[in-house]
């Protein structure tokens, strides 16, 4: 993002606003309203995104927010996918990038829905962690001062508990 700002002589006036861990499918939980308020208050005139798919994963809602920002006089750019949103072909390219983001998001959602449905039909919980098994070892390491060993409580020889993921 900084490289685009430098190459276009855009002054960076604020730290990046990040929505880490928030879904791109919904804007309610994200900081778009804060960004729009800053645009309303004329605090900036160019918004630089990393890539278009990180702005939003729903075409209609993303375009509505972009239109609002543009109505406030803000130019929105993406550092890795830089299209001129003031031109017809640029707007088309932006819409295509957002459309692809929505497609990918919907495909992932379909895949998860199918997975949960398959598991439900088999009588399994939605997600399953792999079981842990305890393996007896033929020889146990010698006890050393200050070193803790976990042992099976009823074992005379002190069989070391070892946790392995079953495959």
149 domain-assigned? no
CATH of the domain at 114: 3.40.50.1390
Contact 159, 136 (CB under 8 A): yes
d(Cα 111, Cα 138) in Å, to the nearest integer? 44
Reduce the DSSP state of residue 76 to 3 states and report it: strand
d(CA 158, CA 152): 6
pLDDT at 57: 84
Cβ burial 31-54 (10 Å sphere, 16+ → b, else e): ebeebbebbeeeebeebbbeebbe
Q: Which two tokens stand for residue 35?
A: 């960004």
pLDDT (0 to 100) of residue 130: 61
Tell me which residue range forms the domain holding 34. 1-122
Question: For residue 166, is it within any domain?
Answer: no
Q: Is residue 108 part of a domain?
A: yes
Tens of pLDDT, residues 64-83: 999 999 999 999 999 888 88
Q: State how many domains the chain has.
A: 1
**Residue numbers of the chain with a pLDDT score lower than 70:** 19-24, 26, 128-167
Q: What is the pLDDT of residue 138?
A: 52
In a domain, 55, yes or no: yes
The residue count of the chain comes to 167
Is 132 a member of any domain? no
* C-alpha torsion angle, residues 89, 78, 52, 31 (rounded to 10): -130
On whether residue 160 sits in a domain, the answer given is no
Question: What pLDDT was estimated at residue 53?
Answer: 85
In a domain, residue 67? The reply is yes
Beta strands in the chain (DSSP E): 46-49, 75-78, 132-134, 163-165
Tokens, residue 9: 């002589």
pTM of the model: 0.63
Residue 110 placed within a domain: yes
């Amino acid at each position: 993002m900084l490289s685009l700002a430098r190459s276009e002589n855009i002054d960076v006036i604020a730290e990046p606003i990040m929505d880490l861990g928030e879904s791109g499918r919904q804007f309610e939980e994200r900081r778009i309203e804060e960004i729009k308020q800053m645009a309303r208050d004329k605090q900036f005139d160019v918004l630089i995104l990393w890539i278009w798919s990180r702005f939003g994963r729903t075409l209609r809602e993303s375009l509505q927010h972009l239109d609002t920002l543009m109505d406030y006089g803000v130019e929105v750019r993406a550092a890795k996918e830089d299209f001129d949103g003031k031109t017809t072909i640029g707007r088309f390219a932006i819409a295509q990038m957002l459309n692809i983001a929505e497609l990918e998001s919907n495909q992932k959602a379909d895949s998860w829905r199918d997975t949960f449905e398959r598991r439900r039909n088999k009588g399994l919980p939605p997600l399953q962690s792999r079981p842990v098994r305890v393996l007896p070892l033929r020889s146990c390491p010698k006890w050393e001062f200050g070193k803790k060993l976990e042992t099976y409580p009823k074992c005379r020889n002190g069989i070391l508990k070892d946790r392995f993921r079953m495959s």
